[in-house]
Amino acid sequence: MTADTTPAPPAPPEEAAGGTLLAARGLAKSFGPTTALQSASFDIDPGELVAVMGSSGSGKTTLLHCLAGITRPDHGWILYQGRDLAAMSESERSGLRRGEFGFLFQSGGLVPELSCLENAALPLRLNGTGRKVAHRRAEEWLEHLGVAHTARQQPGEVSGGEYQRVGMARALITDPAILFADEPTGALDSLNEEKVMRLLATSARSSGTAVVLVTHEPRIAAYADREVGVRDGRTRDFAAGAAG
Ligand SMILES: Nc1ncnc2c1ncn2[C@@H]1O[C@H](COP(=O)(O)OP(=O)(O)OP(=O)(O)O)[C@@H](O)[C@H]1O
């Protein structure tokens, strides 16, 4: 009999759950010959805003996708509220993404045929909330983010800054425990960038939502409580950054 010498991926230690909302260690992910992540670790506490910083191609988006349960890492573990993401079925992970996570990307993402109000209300509708209640919540969020006037317009008819604020309403309407934001202001001019980042930081803080914010811009990372640097697929923690 030949012994199997392949090292088993380390199981998440029990004490890793602690007060941490999401914890990951030793994440590795390759796409064919390309190593996107080789040793990435991450922690985020409830309500914390953490910026993931690094140059183009360093592995930021891959890390975000692993943490959000979109991509399965080749190695390493991820615990969300003490539950091992790797041990979950695809349907459990998609339930988590729908129910407890919010997403905001650089651009796109809104359904072009729906009005901005319907877009903002969509996650609640998909979770089974009735139309009237969902639309009322969406109106409140659009109002809060200063884009109530876009309610009846389609996403293609609004400005870039308005579009991202509608996207933010949609991302936050379910009161997610974590918002995953990948270069959320990447397509905006500096005035809109500042508006969107201020709203994102204050809205997340007031609702107790933790934010994983991927960016390569130091001025965007300055809104975070803490920075995690990514270089060649490896992470590195930085001291607390400036508050936004
Ligand atoms: N689905 C994929 N198929 C093949 N290669 C991929 C895939 N996703 C990412 N990669 C590669 O993995 C590496 C890391 O990509 P990733 O998108 O995570 O970097 P990034 O830091 O987010 O970059 P950017 O700031 O340019 O978006 C890159 O070399 C990229 O080309």
What is the residue-wise DSSP string for 58-122? SSHHHHHHHHTTSS--SEEEEEETTEEGGGS-HHHHHHHHHHTEEEE-SS--S-TTS-HHHHHHH
Ligand 1 atom 28, closest CA: 57
ipTM of the shown complex? 0.97
Closest CA to 62 of 28, 24, 105: 28
Digit-coded pLDDT (tens) for 99-133? 899 999 887 789 999 999 999 999 999 989 999 99
Distance 128 CA to ligand 1 centre (A): 35
Distance 57 CA to ligand 1 centre (A): 5
Domain ranges of the chain: 22-238
Please name the fold of domain 22-238.
Answer: Rossmann fold (3.40.50)
pLDDT value of position 14: 55
Over 60: is that where the pLDDT of 34 sits? yes
End-to-end CA distance of the chain: 60
Distance 199 CA to ligand 1 centre (A): 28
Q: What is the mean pLDDT of residues 81-100?
A: 88
Residue 235 buriedness (CB in 10 A; 0-12 / 13-18 / 19+): buried
Q: What is the mean pLDDT of residues 229-242?
A: 76
Over 50: is that where the pLDDT of 93 sits? yes
Distance 62 CA to ligand 1 centre (A): 6
Distance 34 CA to ligand 1 centre (A): 9
When comparing pLDDT for 190 and 35, which is higher? Answer: 35
Q: What is the mean pLDDT of residues 71-85?
A: 92
List, chain by chain if needed, residues with CB within 6 Å of any ligand 1 atom. 31, 34, 36, 54, 56-62, 216
- Which residue out of 31, 63, 67, 105 has the highest number of ligand 1 atoms within 8 Å of its CB and is therefore the one to mutate? 31
For residue 233, give the ligand 1 atom closest to its CA: 14
- Which residue out of 38, 52, 61 has the highest number of ligand 1 atoms within 8 Å of its CB and is therefore the one to mutate? 61
b (16+ CB within 10 A) / e for 112-132 = eeebbbbbbbbbbeeeebeee
Over 90: is that where the pLDDT of 62 sits? yes
Q: Cα dist. 152→113, 142, 164, 184, 216 in Å?
A: 11, 11, 16, 23, 34
Distance 61 CA to ligand 1 centre (A): 7
Distance 50 CA to ligand 1 centre (A): 20
pLDDT band at 139 (very low <50, low <70, confident <90, very high): very high
Over 50: is that where the pLDDT of 140 sits? yes
Over 80: is that where the pLDDT of 17 sits? no
Ligand 1 atom 25, closest CA: 56
